[in-house]
Structure 1
Amino acid sequence: MALQWVILEYVVAAEAALALVLTLPSPKVIKSRIVSLISLILQPAIGIIPFAAFQLLDLYWKKEHRLMCTAEDCTAAERDRYEKSIYKAQRNGILCTAACLLYWCIYSICKYHKKIQTLEEVERRYKTE
């Protein structure tokens, strides 16, 4: 079960790195090549969205079926274990949300960059006419 979260952590780290590379200032030629390369990667990477959604559903199911340890009869070890599971679930929920949001940000940046390129081409054509 922990392998799924490790994979999601690496995906979020890779998406954050890609978002950083996309937002760094660079010459137009290099930027267009980077955007075209990342656009090619985006289509197969869409699989992260259903994966993260499934993980969120799994977290929800576990939350609904988790044993509560809030009564006086719980030992300190049981209470610590319960709190640790709550913190892990919150961290994993943030990971799933971050994976989806970062994918959307990268997609939007690439889409806007391509739109700007097409508008610049149209402007160039009108200037030459």
Structure 2
Amino acid sequence: MALEWVILGYAAAAEAVMVLLLTIPGLDGLRKGLVAVTRNLLKPFLSVVPFCLFLLMDIYWKYETRPHCESPGSCTPTEHLRHQKSMFKSQRNALLIASALLFYWLLFTVTRLVVQIEQLNQRVEKLKNQD
């Protein structure tokens, strides 16, 4: 299962970098190319959403099938430690899922806004040229 988390981490990092590059002021010359690349990558990155849902179901399944200690002495310290490590990993992975979904949403929204701004700037230039 570690490969899935590595892939999701790389996807979230790529989304974060693209959002950062689109929002940094002063990159006007590169922005058109970045917008074109980002618009082409939005559809493949949409596969992050069902992938995250699958991984959330995996976390839920692990939570539901965890060993239960009925009485204080029924679990050994090793079992208790393993359960705690599993819970920490699940929490970390849930944060990774949330960040991947958030960065996808931000990337989609920022890309749409940058495209709208470019279209409005073109309209303004066209109206200036007509006068």
Q: Give your verdict on TM over 0.5.
A: yes
**CA deviation map 1:82-123 (0-9, x unaligned):** 100000001111111111110110111110000001111111
Gaps of 5+ in 1: none
- Please tell me the residue identity of whatever aligns with 1:62: K
Deviates more, 1:108-117 or 1:75-84: 75-84
Compute the TM-score of the two structures, normalised by the length of structure 1: 0.91
Give 1:105's aligned residue: 106
- Please tell me the residue identity of whatever aligns with 2:52: A
RMSD of aligned alpha carbons: 1.5
Deviates more, 1:82-91 or 1:117-126: 117-126
Gaps of 5+ in 2: none
Structure 1 runs of 4+ with >4 Å offset: none
Give 1:76's aligned residue: 77
Compute the TM-score of the two structures, normalised by the length of structure 2: 0.90
Q: Does 1:4 align with 2:4?
A: yes
Q: Does 1:121 align with 2:122?
A: yes
Give 1:96's aligned residue: 97
Q: 1:112 to 1:47 in 2, by over 3 A?
A: same
Give 1:29's aligned residue: 29
Contact conserved, 1:22 with 1:35, CA < 8 A, in 2?
yes
Contact conserved, 1:68 with 1:82, CA < 8 A, in 2?
no
